[in-house]
């Protein structure tokens, strides 16, 4: 994957903490920051999936009443037997 340069400004305390944590992990500061961003993005994705699953659990009966129960065979056929 191609890399791009990103310049950020942080206070010296934050910069030193980043350097120290990167060194403790045995990675460059660049890699450490990259991993933090990827982790944060992954957490947001998980939160979205969890919220969507909760929504479906809460409103499952409403959807079933409106559109019919899902086909347990997984074929996608609705209550009338066709899509």
Is the pTM higher than 0.95? The answer reads no
Q: Which is higher by pLDDT, 71 or 34? A: 34
25, 21, 7, 41 alpha-carbon torsion, rounded to 10°: 70
pLDDT digits (tens, 9 = 90+) for 5-54: 889 999 999 999 999 999 999 999 999 999 999 888 887 778 788 888 88
20, 28 in Cβ contact below 8 A? no
30 within some domain:
yes
Domain total of the chain: 1
71, 61 in Cβ contact below 8 A? no
Tell me the average pLDDT across 43-71: 82
CA distance 35 to 28: 11
63 within some domain:
yes
19 within some domain:
yes
18, 33 in Cβ contact below 8 A? yes
Tell me the average pLDDT across 52-67: 85
Domain span at 43: 13-67
57 within some domain:
yes
pLDDT at 77: 53
């Amino acid at each position: 994957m191609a890399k791009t340069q990103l310049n950020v400004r942080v206070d010296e305390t934050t910069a030193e903490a980043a350097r120290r944590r990167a060194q403790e992990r045995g990675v460059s500061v660049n890699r450490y920051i990259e991993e933090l961003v990827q982790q944060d993005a992954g957490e947001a994705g998980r939160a979205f999936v969890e919220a969507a699953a909760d929504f479906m659990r809460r409103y499952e009966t409403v959807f079933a009443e409106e559109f019919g129960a899902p086909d347990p065979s997984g074929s996608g056929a609705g209550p009338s037997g066709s899509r």
